[in-house]
């Protein structure tokens, strides 16, 4: 009753921001992402009678309260499997958590795969993405390889709101995302609370929703045709529209710090001087710079000379979640 899984974070090119059903985690809009090979979580789950309660340890720290209701997610899996035993869950990440690098996506994806395996459940990929989605929305995209789409779906039970690969990593192996780390401070507003507040109070939320399907079409076309300009322009615009909805909620949510703006302007200046690159930003201050392999070295080197940048992590299109025998305990 022990299993270990590895999952990568993913970075959205068209963002998920807002739920139409918070219990099942059904989104208001579909989204598209790249599963990243550089940002990894490994999680071991063991169900055993000697555990009197579920215990979660992330990077050597025991978690007592978490925004994602991980214990509720474990209860859901236990019920599905018809188990009574509690679980010990130990996770390790190779990047700072809770700083806007999608750690919860890789974490919930690895946890769901490890917990289903440890509990004896055997789910197909689509079912696994649906179950993972109920733990954390964006995590369903981390189950699958390469470029992923999380379909909004229409059904009330969520059975058509799943993630799937739209292009494997081999389709566009020279697509890169340079994730900058500008601060290692924990963000003030979690994305779960942030998106709920946006849906409730942003006067422009409807307008955001009315443009997302067009962005999904463009980004998918750009990926299919390996059209870097189309993907970059669409992703950058989509990110700015999402942040515009957050900034116009009550109270406003501003994830950006001065360093965020520095990297935004730097990216635009590089582009104007002839190097194709675009930025995207999630629920945090870190900027992710999209580029192609041919420009990676020079852009990454330049970024690391900026005072605003503590360090960078380079991501290529990566694998979906997998099981491994390398247990943490």
Q: Give 119-125 contacts, CB < 8 A, sequence gap 24+.
A: 119/1, 119/47, 119/77, 119/78, 119/80, 119/81, 119/83, 120/1, 120/81, 120/83, 121/77, 121/80, 121/81, 125/164, 125/320
Is position 68 an interface residue for ligand 2P0 (rule: CB under 6 A)? yes
The verdict on 149 binding ligand 2P0 (CB under 6 A) reads no
The answer to whether residue 136 forms part of the interface with ligand 2P0 (CB under 6 A) is yes
Torsion of CA 230, 233, 240, 290, to 10 degrees: 100
H or E stretch including 180? strand 175-181
Q: Does 25 bind ligand 2P0 (CB under 6 A)?
A: yes
Tell me the C-alpha to C-alpha distance, in Å, between residue 259 and each of 11, 21, 36, 182, 281. Answer: 20, 35, 23, 6, 12
Helix (H, G, I), strand (E, B) or coil at 27: strand
Q: Which stretch binds ligand 2P0 (CB under 6 A): 15-23, 72-80, 112-120, 157-165?
A: 15-23
d(CA 281, CA 243) in angstroms, rounded, equals: 8
User: Should residue 243 be labelled a site residue for ligand 2P0 when binding is judged by CB under 6 A?
Assistant: no
One of 16, 47, 208, 279 touching ligand 2P0 (CB under 6 A): 16
Cβ–Cβ under 8 Å, residues 30 and 312: no
Q: Does 191 bind ligand 2P0 (CB under 6 A)?
A: yes
Give the gyration radius of the chain's Cα atoms: 19
> Is residue 319 within 8 Å of residue 37, measured between CB atoms?
yes
Of the residues 169, 192, 288, 316, which one makes contact with ligand 2P0 according to CB under 6 A: 192
Q: Does the footprint of ligand 2P0 cover residue 138 (CB under 6 A)?
A: yes
Nearest distance, CB of residue 282 and ligand 2P0, angstroms: 4
Where does 207-310 show beta strands of DSSP type E?
278-281, 287-292
User: Binding to ligand 2P0 by residue 234, rule CB under 6 A?
Assistant: no
Contact map string, positions 280 to 309, toward ligand 2P0, x by CB under 6 A:
--xx--------------------------
Lookup result for tokens 């720290």: 61
Contacts of 202 (CB under 8 A, 6+ apart): 208, 245, 246, 248, 249
Part in contact with ligand 2P0 (CB under 6 A); list of ranges 72-80, 132-140, 261-269, 287-295: 132-140
CB 19 to ligand 2P0: min, Å: 7
| Residue 10 bridge partners (DSSP) | 35
Question: Minimal CB distance to ligand 2P0: which residue?
Answer: 137
Which region among 13-21, 75-83, 118-126, 205-213 touches ligand 2P0 (by CB under 6 A)?
A: 13-21
The count of residues interacting with ligand 2P0 (CB under 6 A) is 15
Least distance in Å: CB of 175 to ligand 2P0?
Answer: 17
Which of 4, 8, 29, 31 is in the footprint of ligand 2P0 by CB under 6 A?
31
Binding flag, residue 104, ligand 2P0 (CB under 6 A): yes
Instruction: Determine if 28 is a binding residue for ligand 2P0 (CB under 6 A).
Output: no
Whole-Å CA distances, 304 to 286, 314, 325: 14, 12, 36
Does 137 contact ligand 2P0 by CB under 6 A?
yes
Residue with tokens 């079912």: 127
| Binding interface with ligand 2P0 (CB under 6 A) | 12, 15-17, 25, 31, 68, 104, 136-138, 191-192, 282-283
């Amino acid at each position: 009753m022990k299993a270990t899984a590895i999952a990568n974070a993913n970075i959205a090119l068209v963002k998920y921001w807002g739920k139409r059903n918070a219990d099942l985690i059904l989104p208001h809009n579909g989204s598209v992402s790249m599963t990243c090979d550089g940002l990894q979580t490994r999680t071991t789950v063991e169900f055993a009678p000697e555990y009197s309660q579920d215990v979660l340890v992330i990077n050597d720290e025991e978690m007592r309260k978490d925004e994602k209701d991980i214990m509720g997610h474990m209860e859901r899996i236990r019920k599905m499997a018809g188990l009574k035993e509690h679980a010990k869950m130990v996770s390790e990440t190779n990047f700072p958590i809770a700083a806007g690098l999608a750690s919860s996506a890789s974490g919930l994806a690895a946890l769901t795969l490890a917990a289903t395996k440890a509990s004896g459940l055997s789910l197909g990929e689509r079912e696994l993405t649906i179950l993972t989605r109920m733990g954390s929305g964006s995590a369903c995209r981390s189950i699958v390889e390469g470029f992923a789409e999380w379909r909004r779906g229409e059904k009330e039970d969520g059975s058509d709101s799943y993630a799937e690969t739209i292009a494997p990593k081999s389709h566009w192996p020279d697509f890169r995302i340079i994730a900058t780390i500008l601060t290692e401070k924990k963000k003030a507003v979690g994305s779960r609370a942030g998106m709920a507040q946006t849906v409730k109070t942003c006067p422009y939320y409807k307008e955001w929703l009315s443009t997302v399907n067009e962005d999904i079409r463009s980004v998918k076309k750009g990926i299919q045709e390996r059209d870097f300009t189309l993907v970059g322009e669409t992703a950058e615009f989509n990110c700015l529209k999402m942040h515009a909805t957050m900034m116009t909620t009550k109270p406003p949510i501003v994830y950006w710090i001065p360093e965020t703006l520095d990297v935004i302007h730097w990216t635009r200046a590089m582009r104007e001087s002839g190097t194709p690159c675009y930025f995207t930003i999630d629920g945090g201050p870190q900027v992710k710079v999209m580029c192609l392999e041919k420009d990676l070295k020079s852009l990454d080197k330049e970024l690391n000379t900026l005072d605003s940048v503590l360090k960078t992590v380079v991501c290529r299109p990566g694998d979906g979640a997998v099981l491994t025998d390398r247990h943490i305990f």
